[in-house]
Structure 1
């Protein structure tokens, strides 16, 4: 049975963490991995405006072929990074042991990855590979998917993920609240009522697929 692990890694321990060392950025989030020739190119959201010269600095990195700002907004920039992942020991260890990166978020100090392996033995082998490369993996959670049909996002649709992630970032679930559903609705470009309904459905889907077993849902 496949196993999913959540891992925390120091930004200084792997190549990509060093490349995207963004002082002043609140977060970096993997949007997707897209095929490009023989390589897999990541798209990242960088939150907070990126500093002047950042793209030029990244492109001068020896393992980087190109870096492009795909979309720019007031609070975030979508970056496409074409780099030689084979020179990154972390990614090499993950790929060599059939790991699949489901999500990744980073900061100047550390990154958090969610990775799926076909079996627990593959995860153990990946850990050994990283240890040999002097990469310290802090495994914060290991679990088996409750229902493989729901995919890596716990049954959440892309609009639901977007709404729930935005609500957390804007402090909607903080005490006191950092924003209203009306403010979330403005960001999402939908009505206040639609935002409330989307969040309700997102929380329901996440709870069913991430916290409950099939027996508990029966």
Structure 2
């Protein structure tokens, strides 16, 4: 049975530690990670700092390379990059054992990461690798999906589930809406951009899991 873990890591144990140290106000949220030929390519949003400041700091950061700006909005900028191979990092551990990164949010003092492990053996392998390579982390929560009636069944992470339910309970989907995104974001203590991204990714997961049988790119 799959295991889901919520971890807290110091920046130096994950990625972009130098960047986050140079830009303490920055907030980084990984949207997805693509793996091809042993290269991990994260797509991530950067908020609370200018694109120019982030790019200058990231250019000197040894944990990441080939940073490319994809889209710029008022509240955040979307990037694509490559994680470098650093054995003393949790990214290397995730790659080695095959764990799936579901969500990752970085601030100047920590990363909060949600993972899915195929089974307990994979989790033990991850813990062993981290211990052998002095990778620091703390497990905040570890759980299995014991019921089919959960957000996980429909392609949702816990944060996406929380965002969609909060919006529904606040009356955001009523016509006219009874609450704004900014009000809901304030209740959840996150930025409006973060809420918007979680809801958008949640919609994508729900549609993929319930309304279609093939991805548009499938033959």
| TM, length-normalised to structure 1 | 0.66
Q: Which SS does the other structure have where 1:91 is aligned?
A: helix
Deviates more, 1:101-110 or 1:56-65: 56-65
Q: What residue number does 2:154 align with? A: 150
Checking the alignment, whether the CA contact within 8 Å between 1:67 and 1:79 is kept in structure 2 is yes
Checking the alignment, whether the CA contact within 8 Å between 1:97 and 1:126 is kept in structure 2 is yes
Q: What residue number does 2:67 align with? A: 67
> 1:123: how far off?
0.8
Partners of 1:168 and 1:99 in 2: CA distance: 35
How is 1:57-96 mapped onto 2 (pairs within 5 angstroms)?
Answer: 57-62=57-62, 64-85=64-85, 87=87, 89-96=89-96
Q: What residue number does 2:178 align with? A: none
Partners of 2:118 and 2:188 in 1: CA distance: 35
Partners of 1:19 and 1:161 in 2: CA distance: 36
Change (3 A) 1:168 1:101: farther
> 1:33: how far off?
1.7
Change (3 A) 1:68 1:125: same
Change (3 A) 1:7 1:59: same
Cα-Cα RMSD: 3.7
> 1:19: how far off?
4.9
2:191 maps to 1:171: no
Change (3 A) 1:25 1:76: farther
Q: Which SS does the other structure have where 2:5 is aligned?
A: strand
Gaps of 5+ in 2: 169-180, 207-219
Q: What residue number does 1:50 align with? A: 50
Partners of 1:91 and 1:138 in 2: CA distance: 15
Gaps of 5+ in 1: 179-183, 189-197, 206-218
> 1:150: how far off?
2.4
> 1:29: how far off?
0.6
Partners of 1:168 and 1:26 in 2: CA distance: 22
